[in-house]
Amino acid sequence: MTGPGPAPVKCPRCFTALPHDKVAWTEATPESVAHNPTASAYAGVATSTGQVHTANRPENSPDWIPASFDVHRHVEVCVTCHYTLPPMWRYGEATCVAMAGARYTGKTVFIAVLIKQLQQYTERFHREVIPADDETANRYSAIYETPLFVERGIVQATPSAASEAHHPLIFDLGVWDGLKRFLVIRDVAGEDLEEAKVAGPAWEFFSRADAVFFLFDPLRVEDVSDQLRDLIPDSSRVGGDPRDVLRVVMRLISGGNPRLGVILSKFDALQELSRVKNSAWGQVMGHPGAAFNRDPSLVNRSYDETDGQLLDAEVRSLLQRLRAGPSLLNMVDPVTGQQYHHRFFAVSALGESPEGERLHPNGISPFRCMDPIRWVLADRHVLQE
């Protein structure tokens, strides 16, 4: 149990800032476990743990350790939700992201590719992006990495929280600007958001997130899917109306102040419209100078704010043409009148549409997948020159 950093670090499950004046812990390998109502409420499923102990930390004593805490037998847990914290957690700063969208918008594939690109990008700074705990290492390998990069198939949709207690994905980004940095991603099942199964403490993390990324599938727009009918393979994977899902997400973050990234996913499909001759869509998508036709995300050593603002304006214009703009743009401003710091993005995790359950023979060619996370991390001087 270590002293806190310059500001309270957030719990990777409930996204609550860990208090400086209180600590909680339990046995790493308890001899007996019992139903833990607090952990169950925040996990969303019945959860059993060892006995959780709490103690008040003396004022101005950041390195104080309770006398009953044994570093060889005990682990620190979140005071609020009783989630086991990774080692040295209080020494760092966590950027906590909630990933949302309807089913089959590509959230899981996007996360798989994003982590790979983060790992490749940070190599130029002689740093590594690695899982911060065994749970993340095992889940990322089994659910994200192996199905896509080894088996070269399409990763399955995120299971409902009702069927599985979802652990956050926690990655160690290394030391930036003199402080240990972590990236936490909560991948939320589109099924739960479509059916609005989102009540209680288990869903409060949305309002405490540093950023909420909402993925929007343009193929859900009939006008686009009709024009692409002969250009990309048909897909039977169709999720719910993204506008309905965004309403649920906005309700969840109400009262909080996260950054909101609205991400136009599967953008390679829209880029195929440039091949439609003598059409308005072909002229728009074939514009060689458009920001959505270039990708500087792995080239620039710092996040390009000017490029980000230009892409934001272009995606807003595209959403208007998709007849989705008014609904999505209006929902960014909730009924409370609060203006969230938001930005629109366009990404393609694969580069080309899959063929059935397999990747396109050309392989994986990500497009602008780093933009949303670099936008969020820029103010914290992470992934910057």
H or E element that contains 34? strand 34-35
| Pairwise CA distance, residues 344 & 9, whole Å | 27
Contact 378, 301 (CB under 8 A): no
- Tokens 């994977």 label which residue? 237
Strands 259-264 and 34-35: unpaired
Q: What's the pLDDT band for 209 if we cut at 50, 70, 90?
A: very high
HSE on the CB side for 108, CA within 13 Å? 24
Q: Given phi > 0 = left and psi -120 to 50 = alpha, else beta, which region is 351?
A: left
Residues 6+ apart with CB under 8 A from 140: 112, 115, 131, 169
Q: What's the pLDDT band for 65 if we cut at 50, 70, 90?
A: confident
Contact 335, 157 (CB under 8 A): no
Closest listed residue to residue 377, CA positions, set 201, 213, 255: 213
Q: Would you say the C-alpha torsion 201, 10, 172, 346 has a positive or negative sign?
A: positive
What pLDDT score was predicted for residue 296? 85
**Alpha helices by DSSP H, the chain:** 37-43, 107-122, 134-139, 190-194, 205-208, 222-227, 242-253, 267-271, 280-285, 305-321, 325-331, 371-378
What pLDDT score was predicted for residue 308? 95
Mean pLDDT of 141-159: 75
What pLDDT score was predicted for residue 287? 79
Residue 362, SS3 per DSSP:
coil
- The least confident of 10-24, 25-39, 274-288 is 274-288
Closest listed residue to residue 220, CA positions, set 374, 371, 103, 365: 103
Concatenating the DSSP letter of every residue in 125-161 gives: GT---EESSHHHHHHIIIIIIIIIIIS-BPPPPPPPT
What pLDDT score was predicted for residue 49? 95
| Pairwise CA distance, residues 269 & 299, whole Å | 24
What pLDDT score was predicted for residue 214? 94
| Pairwise CA distance, residues 268 & 353, whole Å | 7
The ranges assigned to domains in the chain are: 22-84, 92-378
Distance linking the first and last C-alpha atoms of the chain:
32
Residues 6+ apart with CB under 8 A from 156: 108, 143, 147
- 177-202 pLDDT tens trace: 889 999 999 999 888 888 877 889 99
- Tokens 């595209």 label which residue? 318
What pLDDT score was predicted for residue 328? 63
| Pairwise CA distance, residues 260 & 101, whole Å | 13
What pLDDT score was predicted for residue 271? 76
Average pLDDT, the chain: 83
- 77-108 pLDDT tens trace: 999 999 999 988 988 999 999 999 988 888 88
Q: Residues of 88-105 as b/e, b for ≥16 C-beta within 10 angstroms?
A: ebbebbbbbbbbbbbbbb
